[in-house]
Amino acid sequence: MSTLNKTLASSGIHGTQGISKFSRSTNVETTVFHSRGGLFQNSWIASLQQRKNSRHFLVMDRNIEKLYGSKVLAFLKQNGLKVKEVVIAPGERSKSLSVYKRLINSIITLGVDRDSYILALGGGVVNNVVGFVASTLYRGIGLIQIPTTLLAQLDAAIDFKQAINSPYGKNQLGSYYSASTVVVDPDLLQTLSLRQLRSGLGEAIKHALIEDQQLFSYLEDYHGNLRDKEFLDDVIARTVQLKVLLLNKSNDEKDLEMLPQYGHAIGHALEHLSHYKLLHGEAIAIGMCVMSEIANVLGVSSAKVMEKHYQIMSKFKLPTIIPNYISDQSILVAIRHDKYFLRNLRSVLTSNVGSIANVAEDPAKYVFNIESKVIETCLSRNRNKTLINQRVKIWTRKN
* 249-287 tens-digit pLDDT: 766 556 777 899 999 999 999 999 999 999 999 999 999
Interval 218-248: pLDDT, tens: 999 999 999 999 999 999 999 999 999 888 8
What percentage of the chain exceeds 90 in pLDDT?
77
**CATH number of the domain at 194-246+253-396, please?**
1.20.1090.10
DSSP secondary structure code for residue 65 in this structure: I
- pLDDT 10s digit of each residue in the chain, 399 long? 666 566 656 666 555 566 756 555 556 789 999 999 999 999 999 989 999 999 999 999 999 999 999 999 999 999 999 999 999 999 999 999 999 999 999 999 999 999 999 999 999 999 999 999 999 999 999 999 999 999 999 998 898 899 999 998 888 899 999 999 999 999 999 999 999 999 999 999 999 999 999 999 999 999 999 999 999 999 999 999 999 988 887 665 567 778 999 999 999 999 999 999 999 999 999 999 999 999 999 999 999 999 999 999 999 999 999 999 999 999 999 999 887 887 889 999 999 999 999 887 666 788 999 999 999 999 999 999 854 444 334 333 444
Ranges of CATH 1.20.1090.10 domains, the chain: 194-246+253-396
Query: What single letter denotes the amino acid at residue 378?
Result: C
Q: Which residues touch 362 (CB under 8 Å, ≥6 apart)?
A: none
Whether the CB-CB separation of 148 and 113 falls below 8 Å is answered with: no
What tens digit of pLDDT does each residue of 344-368 get? 899 999 999 999 998 876 667 889 9
CA dihedral 207, 210, 212, 215 (to 10 degrees): 50
Looking at residue 254, its pLDDT comes to: 66
pLDDT score recorded for residue 308: 98
Exposed/middle/buried for residue 178 (C-beta within 10 Å: 0-12, 13-18, 19+): buried
Answer yes or no: are the C-beta atoms of 292 and 301 closer than 8 Å: yes
Closest C-alpha to 308, from 352, 357, 260, 267: 352
Tell me where in the chain the CATH 3.40.50.1970 domain(s) lie: 31-189
Secondary-structure class of domain 31-189 per CATH: alpha beta
Cα torsion 357, 214, 231, 247 to 10°: value is: -50
